[in-house]
Structure 1
Amino acid sequence: MGTVLVENIRVYAYHGCLPQETQLGSDYLVNIAVKADLSKAASTDSLNDTVDYVHINHIVKEEMAIPSKLLEHVVKRINDRIFQELPTVESSKVAVSKVNPPINGDVEKVTVILKSKRS
């Protein structure tokens, strides 16, 4: 078993419960860690035998483009697509961070993390 990390995917998106969040948008960082058997890819040197991180990035960009009130909802959608579209993935950890959230405080970011396993 191995891990593929795709770290700090930067996205500008329109998530939130406040009107200004969905109108003005804000910066987000997305981090993905997926576990899969990477032993075949290590031997064959073939993209078909591994988890394609370009595909993960594509999923993130598409799902982040769909406005949601809650980051939890966005994270679940990303997780669901990873399992639907990447059959070698056994488990995943998806973290979405809103940078400089509008919460009347000096907060760098807020993050929602969900871990899932293939059922």
Structure 2
Amino acid sequence: MQHTIEVNGIKRYAYHGCLEEEGKIGGHYTVDVSIVTDFTASFASDELSDTVDYVKINQIVAEEMDIRSKLIEHVGYRILQRLQKEIDGVIHSRVKVIKHCPPIGGDVNDVAIIIEQ
């Protein structure tokens, strides 16, 4: 059986971007994570050890967002790789990284990338 766990709206202030100023000034980001797994055992046990710990997901996102990258694609891929490696039973995962108010020469709310594996 497959089930989905989502942790949405993880807010971070980070220093990603190709412009030198972005590395100094930083900006607001939001990350959404979705993991498909089987947590049937948790239905009966009511134990955290039988499901995915949301705290671990948030920790992985926070740690990877704290490492400066030029591209949010790079950050998203690192998050995805760690989810696959460090969380048991991941069947499929999806990471969305949103960069708010990007400096792209226009009035834009945000840009985002989505990576699935």
TM-score, length basis structure 2: 0.97
Distance 1:38 1:83 in 2: 16
Pairwise CA distance, 1:88: 1.4
Pairwise CA distance, 1:43: 1.4
Task: Give the SS at the match of 1:89.
Answer: coil
Find the counterpart in structure 1 of residue 4 from structure 2: 3
Distance 2:32 2:24 in 1: 24
Find the counterpart in structure 2 of residue 77 from structure 1: 78
Contact 1:30–1:96 (Cα < 8 Å) also in 2 = yes
Within a 5 Å distance, the mapping from 1:41-80 to structure 2 comes to 41-80=42-81
1:18 aligns with 2:19: yes
Task: Give the SS at the match of 1:61.
Answer: helix
Distance 1:49 1:91 in 2: 17
For structure 2, the residue ranges without an aligned partner over 5 or more in a row are none
CA RMSD of aligned residues (A): 0.6
For structure 1, the residue ranges without an aligned partner over 5 or more in a row are none
Q: Which moved more, 1:84-93 or 1:7-16?
A: 84-93
Pairwise CA distance, 1:2: 0.7
Alignment deviations for residues 6-34 of structure 1 (CA, whole Å, 9 cap, x no partner): 00000000000001111100000000000
Task: Give the SS at the match of 1:51.
Answer: coil
1:35 aligns with 2:36: yes
TM-score, length basis structure 1: 0.95
Percent identical across equivalent pairs? 47
Task: Write out the 4+ residue segments of structure 1 that deviate beyond 2 Å after TM superposition.
Answer: none
Task: Give the SS at the match of 2:105.
Answer: coil
Pairwise CA distance, 1:38: 1.4
